[in-house]
């Protein structure tokens, strides 16, 4: 069951107020780089856009002869294909990270949608993107984030770095949950990387890979997911882990921007368990509308 227009309007009204008050957590995925439709007034050229997961997987599959080696498997499975790329003779981990840097960061620019999100008063932003495009968009808004990057191999028993003060609109907290290309050892992309990541997510509080400030606020502030599909079981696992031991009756509102949510996920996560409210709109319609509602004016390209 999807929401009718009245329900959607009421929910989005609540979201706008939370964003205005600086009490909403923004969660950004790779889908934020999706191109606008041909008839959109916004433009985002192909050469300026980072390649998305399926595109990356197909290109990697060609390089490591994935289809020949694993004829019954999908060349669109990025975790599996990237693992093949990593273990293929003549390629390896270093070239894998070089490949990612070339196709998701070098010569790429923030889209208008990403610039709009950077302009809004989010104090905490989490991203699974490896690139620095959101940081560039923040800089255009004269924002200087406190930046933390996931560490797959931290020093033993050393507390996870965190803020000693509250984040602000001018100095938001930005957590790169799946790593950053400028810290090559931090990247989470292969099957093995995700296994290590899941193991780390079960660590004790003081060494948990997600800063305590984020985990504290996620139990109290609503979250807006942009650029994700909740069909990704890793994202659902992450969401459940960060809200672990919180009574569902006390869950803060969470919103997932997804024009075509999976019917089974919608049924379970929205209609039955009330974990998520799906906003079934296009990225390039919703983000400009959110920007205008919060800022009181349209975004100027």
Percentage of the chain surpassing pLDDT 70? 93
Task: Return the higher-pLDDT residue of 203 and 79.
Answer: 79
- Token readout for 287 is 């983000």
Res 110 pLDDT > 60: yes
Residue 44 phi/psi, 5-degree rounding, is -150, 95
Residue at token pair 């994700």: 228
Q: Are 146 and 175 in contact (CB under 8 A)?
A: no
pLDDT of 245 > 60? The answer is no
Torsion of CA 256, 7, 220, 175, to 10 degrees: 20
- The reported pTM is 0.93
Q: Which helix (DSSP H) or strand (DSSP E) does residue 244 occupy?
A: none
* Closest residue by Cα to residue 258 from 220, 238, 291, 232: 232
Question: In the predicted model, what is the mean pLDDT of the chain?
Answer: 90
pLDDT digits over 253-297, tens only? 889 999 998 899 889 888 887 788 889 889 999 999 999 999 999
pLDDT bucket at 3, cuts 50 / 70 / 90: low
What are the structural domain ranges in the chain? 5-36+110-295, 53-104
Per-residue confidence (pLDDT) for residue 18, from 0 to 100: 94
Contact between residue 50 and residue 42 where contact means Cβ atoms under 8 Å apart = no
201 pLDDT band (50/70/90 cuts)?
confident
Query: Who contacts 76 (Cβ-Cβ below 8 Å, separation ≥6)?
Result: 53, 54, 57, 58
From the candidate CATH numbers 3.40.50.1220, 3.20.20.70, 3.40.630.30, 1.10.10.10, the one assigned to the domain spanning 5-36+110-295:
3.40.50.1220
Of 68-72, 153-157, 170-174, 242-246, the one with minimum mean pLDDT is 242-246
Instruction: Pick 272 or 43 by higher pLDDT.
Output: 43
Q: Does residue 186 surpass a pLDDT of 90?
A: yes
Strand partners, 28: 127, 226
**Which range has the worst mean pLDDT, 56-70, 128-142, 278-292?**
278-292
Handedness of CA 40, 42, 48, 54 (dihedral sign): negative
Beta sheet of 277-279, edge-to-edge order: 146-149, 173-176, 124-127, 25-28, 223-226, 254-257, 277-279
């Amino acid at each position: 069951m999807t929401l009718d227009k009245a329900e959607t309007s009421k929910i989005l009204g609540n979201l706008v107020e939370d964003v205005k008050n600086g009490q909403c957590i923004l969660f950004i995925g790779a889908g934020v780089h999706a191109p606008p439709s041909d008839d959109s007034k916004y433009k985002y050229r192909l050469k300026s856009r980072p390649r998305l997961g399926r595109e990356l997987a197909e290109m990697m599959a060609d390089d490591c002869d994935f289809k020949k080696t694993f004829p019954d498997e999908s060349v669109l499975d990025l975790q599996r294909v990237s693992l093949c790329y990593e273990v293929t003779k003549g390629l390896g981990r270093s070239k894998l990270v070089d490949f990612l840097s070339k196709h998701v960061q070098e010569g790429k620019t923030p889209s208008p949608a990403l610039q709009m999100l950077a302009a809004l008063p989010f104090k905490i932003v989490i991203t699974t993107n490896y690139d620095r495009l959101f940081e560039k968009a923040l800089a255009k808004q004269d924002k200087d984030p406190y930046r933390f990057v996931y560490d797959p191999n931290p020093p033993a028993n050393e507390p996870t770095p965190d803020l000693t003060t509250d984040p602000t609109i001018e100095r938001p907290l930005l957590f790169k949950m799946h790593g950053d290309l400028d810290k090559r050892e931090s990247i989470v992309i292969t099957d093995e990387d995700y296994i290590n990541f899941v193991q780390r997510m079960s660590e004790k509080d003081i060494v948990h890979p997600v800063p305590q400030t984020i985990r504290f606020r996620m139990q109290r502030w609503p979250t807006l997911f942009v650029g994700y599909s909740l069909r990704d079981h890793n994202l659902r696992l992450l969401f459940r882990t960060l809200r672990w031991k919180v009574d569902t009756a006390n869950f803060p509102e969470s919103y997932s921007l997804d024009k075509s949510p999976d019917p089974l996920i919608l049924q379970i996560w929205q209609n039955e368990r009330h974990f998520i409210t799906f906003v079934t709109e296009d990225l390039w319609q919703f983000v400009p509308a959110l920007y205008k509602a919060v800022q009181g004016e349209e975004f100027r390209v």
